[in-house]
Amino acid sequence: MNQIARIILLAAICIPAQAQQLVFMDEEEQVGIPYLTVIVSEQARTLHLFTDAQGRLNLPALNYPVRLQTSHINYPALSDTLRSATNKTYGLKAKINALNDVIVTGQFAPQSVRNSVFRVATITREEIENRGAITLEQALQNRLNMRISQDLAIGNATVSLQGISAQNVKILIDGVPLVNRNGNGNAADLSQINLQQIERLEIVEGPMAINYGANALAGVVNLITKKDFERSTEVSAFVQSETAGNEAGPRNGKHVQSLQVNKKLSKKWSLLSHIQHNDFQGFTGSAPLRTHEWNPKNQLLGSLLVKFETPKKSIYYRGEALNELIEDFGRPQNNFQPNGQNQPFAIDETYTSQRHTHQLQAEGRSDVFKQYNLFLSFSDFQRQKSRFSKNLINGEERLTTGEGDQDLSTYRVWESGGSTQLSVGSKTAIQLGYQLSLEKVGGGRIAKGRQGIEEYSVYSSAEWMIHPKLVLRPGVRFTHNSGFGQQLIPALQVKYELSSLNQLRLSYSRGFRAPSVRELYFEFVDSNHRIFGNPNLKPETSHHIGLNLVAHYSLGKQAVQTDINLFYNQIEDQIGIGQLPNDITSATYININQFKTLGINIQKQATWRELGVALGAAYVGRSNRLQNLSPSLEQYLYSPELNAHISYHFKAWGSRLNLYYKYTGKLQSYFVGSENNTIQLGGIEDYHWLEATINQHISKRWQMLLGARNLFNIRQLSNSGAGGGAHSGGSSVALSYGRSYFIKISYNLQFK
Amino acid sequence: MIKIKRTPFYAALLAAGLFSCTEDDGPVTIPPTESAVMDPSVGGPNQPNQVFVDLSTETQTSVARNHWDLAFYTGSEFRVLLNNSTSALADELAKTDLTAVSAEDTTGWGARLDIDAIFGTLFGPQRPEWLPEAATWMDDPSGDLSTTAIASIKSNADDNPVYIINRGKNPDGSQRGWKKVKITRNGSAYVLQHANIGAESFEQLTIQKNADSDFVYVSFEDGIVSVAPSKTEWDMVFTVFTNLLPIDASTRIPYAYKDYILTNAGRVEVAQVQAEGDVTYEGFSHAQISTVSFKSQVSAIGSGWRVVAQPGSDQQTGVKEDVFYIIKDTESNYYKLRFTRLVDPVSGERGHPQFQYQLLVP
């Protein structure tokens, strides 16, 4: 052996400058990996080299033996020792969280991000864990193009996307809309969405109306639940304690306890279960006695997944339950009795939300259908508002009797959907699908107390590979809705593969938002307000144009991934408040407004050994009806955003540091203001958000996460954009209860 | 501000007050109430009553707020007020003969001379041109008698136009209907002619001024009715109050406030005190009176004593605990007063105010 080596070495020296080519291939895709950094170390020197667009590397003359080490953001490092100048091909397996992430949202069959015709962004389990994110709100906190708004009165957090309101952002769980107080999937309260059983988040910007129907006008956030695990039994538990601003301790802040048990019952059957308690004690801040700036919120939730799996199909049942209690304690008020004695009391309110979801889902392949997916789900959401008067001397509580004081709002939805993929020749695949939903909504301010909406849709898309690099995806959806009748929605998406890691995507799609039950059937009359729903509303419709480029290039000695997005949205027939034509003393909802947004965002990420860096910038413009009516105004008001994620792995200590940053620019808008009926410019001020966490590995089973959120300690954002009228709103918008710290300790136990 | 305009008026009132005092010169003096807690019977969420409160005698006079339509001023001027608490509005016609007015004269008025219709325009496609005018269809909320919806009654009968009155709303929200009226003078008295808009005949009523009250109240149905106690026998009134809400720099529209408090114009002064640090309701003494500044506007208390929950904010309906008032009543007694509640301790509904007060003695 030694001899042979010596001969080869001798040969290498004797035959200088012999051409030698190495090829680096993606194992799964069987294509070359461009811009792969290859560090070649001779005894005396080190060379940094790159593969070409086809993944080829021509080595110069070297003094063998040499050591090779590769470095690439999407591939694990590969090392090898070359003893002589020979041609060689290496296969590399892509890392998870790269372009080869398997995603499902809007796809015919699960496939890689790279092959998806439209851009799908993911947030992995790892990131959710690293951030100590309990709810969806926390996981989306520093994403570009997203803004989270808090409603302190009802303790709810919603997200806007691409400058378009939360009503148009559809939240799905395994593709099924998440029923909530405001709708079937849209305007969901993010603080009620728990992430413990979520494997990853898939985010698609731009309308996904073909596959997901109404209310996905701005895009979808699809939460993919965990369904697979490796061992026969896995038990994991964690506790997390968080301060609320400077308020800490067992009776302050937020405390989370969670337990997860996964078990394989047989080869075919497995079970995943989870139970969690989120206990937020509220934030008092400078609020008067008994009251809170942020009301206490107590959530108890659980889920159960039963899976039956054979090589050709899997069927699973998923049940989920949420019980949430928000307590709004009132200020003490005096009440003098005729005898002069004071019996102070307070008016307290509670909001109890309950959600049960049952979902039966089947997917697989058969001879007729290449890939199919079917689901049937029933969701029951209800929220009880209770208002009572509490005697602060004897503690007696009595329900108050004012109109609307006690109110039960309900939202029940039966939903079923299915899709299948058919192959027509080798270059074309067709997806056919249906979806139907039966919604029943009840509540005190809904006309007649109860209303229903039914919707039936069929859709079809085709993926047609015109050329090995060019895929076209036209689609159409036909919807019949009991409220607004029929609608036909088209979309066209194009993907062009510039190279194996560079793709260009273009999409034109239409989206729509169905009028909400509140807009259709609301009823509210008091001394100064007369507001009625309008059953004749049309849906809001939109045109969306998007352009996306994902590219890789080398910067110094490192490959950098770049993601550039351009988008334009135009919403017509946007619903606003207007006068009832036949009763001008009343206000109603009418299709009156117009809204446009356009923007660009650029994201870059790279990894240098232990250091990972992702940077992004976005510039989003918004244009409302006033701008459309007055050409003299700035047609778009732009708001910049910057974000960054920096991670560092301290290998020696087994710890990881993560920093998440976002700058959210001033959000400006025109409104008809209090100056002479003129149009004024106002806005919500800009702010910086910074989160830091340290993930510390303690032992095989124990892990600890330390973190701090909102390091700049921002609580309120001043708002100069409030319109006139009696309720000119607050002059500030709530962001957070301030800088908070948390600790999470988790324990994992695995058998076999 | 408006204060300046009213100064001569108040001076006149004060002078009249002093004058009448020397004339009445009653021998019996009842000592003023030293401290009390009062529960004005506003009547719950619809607030059907106007409650006049006299602090020194610890009395309240409760009157149904839809019990009257017009208030005729008893001073030297000839002024007529609308019932602000029902959000009544009035606009004049170019006619002076009541019988010549028919329904055609008011075509389309329902879409403008109506508080709900005016508010509704805020949601309309475009603000109507008449919107800035809406403020002139009600009496100025400052109580300034020179800016009333119905112009001062001229001595020459033909100089007084016919007015169309939308009588506003009952406490339950129902409409009170419309009237046409013409008011003239007869010596020192008023003569009121009124009828339904389409009617060919009308009713007539003569209203004599008297020295006892500031206003004589008239109901279209019941003629002269009793509403406010006599001039000095009330200090403040709890009422629904139609105010002017600014919607931009030049436009204000009628907007009804509940749980509003007006003070007896020109006879009561009010200082609002912020409780902080050493300044507390409990500790406030007669010696501190000079440290606070008094206002004589009728809306000096207004709605400043309470908070009402608004959509999207976490503020709760109730009284402001950090505010109390020093009140110089019609008999020049100084009281400290604080509101203790706004809502009923059981039902939780508004329209159940309570306050406590105490005489400040040197």
pLDDT exceeds 60 at position A680: yes
- pLDDT band of residue A16 (cuts 50, 70, 90) is very low
Quick: pLDDT tens for B101-141: 999 999 989 889 999 889 888 777 678 889 999 999 999 99
pLDDT exceeds 50 at position A438: yes
Interchain contact, B247 vs A584, CB within 8 Å? no
The dihedral through the CA atoms of A77, A78, A82, A87 has a sign that is negative
Interchain contact, A335 vs B340, CB within 8 Å? yes
In angstroms, the CA A64 to CA A43 distance is 8
Q: Provide the b/e sequence for A255-285 (b: ≥16 CB within 10 Å).
A: bbebbbebbbeeeeebebbbbbebbbbbbbb
Residue that terminates a domain, selected from B192, B225, B258: B225
Task: Domain A225-751: give its CATH code.
Answer: 2.40.170.20
Q: Are residues B46 and B188 in the same domain?
A: no
pLDDT of residue A416: 96
Interchain contact, A675 vs B248, CB within 8 Å? yes
The single-letter DSSP state of residue A712 is T
Quick: pLDDT tens for B177-218: 999 999 999 999 999 999 999 999 999 999 999 999 999 999
pLDDT of residue A79: 86
> Nearest-CA distance from B253 to chain A in Å?
10
Q: Are residues B174 and B315 in the same domain?
A: no
pLDDT of residue B225: 96
Q: Are residues B243 and B338 in the same domain?
A: yes
pLDDT of residue B11: 42
> Which ipTM value was assigned to this complex?
0.74
Asked if the C-beta of B133 comes within 8 angstroms of chain A's C-beta atoms, the answer is no
Interchain contact, B124 vs A578, CB within 8 Å? yes
Quick: pLDDT tens for A240-264: 999 999 999 999 999 999 999 999 9
Residue that terminates a domain, selected from B197, B225, B253: B225
Cβ(A85)–Cβ(A62) below 8 Å: yes
pLDDT of residue A518: 81
Residues of chain A with CATH 2.170.130.10: 102-224
pLDDT exceeds 60 at position A729: no
Annotate A360-404 with DSSP letters as a single string. EEEEE--SS-SEEEEEEEEEEEEEEEEEEEEETTT--EEE--STT
Residues of chain A with CATH 2.40.170.20: 225-751
Parent domain of B242? 2-64+231-359
Q: Are residues B247 and B312 in the same domain?
A: yes
pLDDT exceeds 50 at position B12: no
What's the whole-number average pLDDT of chain A?
87
Whole-structure pTM value: 0.81
Quick: pLDDT tens for A550-595: 988 877 767 788 999 999 999 999 888 777 666 667 788 888 888 9
pLDDT exceeds 80 at position A17: no
Residue that terminates a domain, selected from B225, B245, B266: B225
Q: Are residues B76 and B50 in the same domain?
A: no
Q: Are residues B243 and B221 in the same domain?
A: no
Number of domains in chain B: 2
Quick: pLDDT tens for B253-293: 999 999 999 999 999 999 999 999 899 999 999 999 999 99
pLDDT exceeds 90 at position A296: yes
State residue B248 phi and psi, 5-degree precision: -160, -175
For B249, which of A528, A676, A729 is closest by C-beta distance? A676
Average of pLDDT values for A204-230? 90
pLDDT exceeds 70 at position B352: yes
Q: Are residues B144 and B265 in the same domain?
A: no
Q: Looking at A401-500, which runs of residues are DSSP E strands?
A: 407-424, 428-442, 450-467, 470-481, 485-499
Q: Are residues B51 and B90 in the same domain?
A: no
Give the closest residue to B289 by CA, choosing from B357, B361, B231, B224: B361
Tokens of A395: 């503690």
Pick from A156, A295, A333, A580 the residue to mutate for testing the B interface (most B CBs within 10 Å). Answer: A333
- pLDDT band of residue B3 (cuts 50, 70, 90) is very low
Cβ(A714)–Cβ(A689) below 8 Å: yes
Look at residue B12 and give its three-state secondary structure: helix
Task: Domain A102-224: give its CATH code.
Answer: 2.170.130.10
In angstroms, the CA A219 to CA A205 distance is 4
Average of pLDDT values for A519-527? 78
pLDDT of residue A742: 96
For B247, which of A295, A343, A725 is closest by C-beta distance? A725
pLDDT exceeds 50 at position B21: no
> Nearest-CA distance from B21 to chain A in Å?
34
pLDDT exceeds 90 at position A522: no
pLDDT exceeds 60 at position A741: yes
Asked if the C-beta of B360 comes within 8 angstroms of chain A's C-beta atoms, the answer is no
- pLDDT band of residue B5 (cuts 50, 70, 90) is very low
Higher pLDDT, B347 or A380: A380
Interchain contact, B37 vs A340, CB within 8 Å? yes
Angle at A476 between CA A472 and CA A480, to 5 degrees: 170
Q: Are residues B157 and B304 in the same domain?
A: no
For A151, which of B116, B312, B354 is closest by C-beta distance? B312
CATH class of A2-92: mainly beta
pLDDT of residue A3: 58
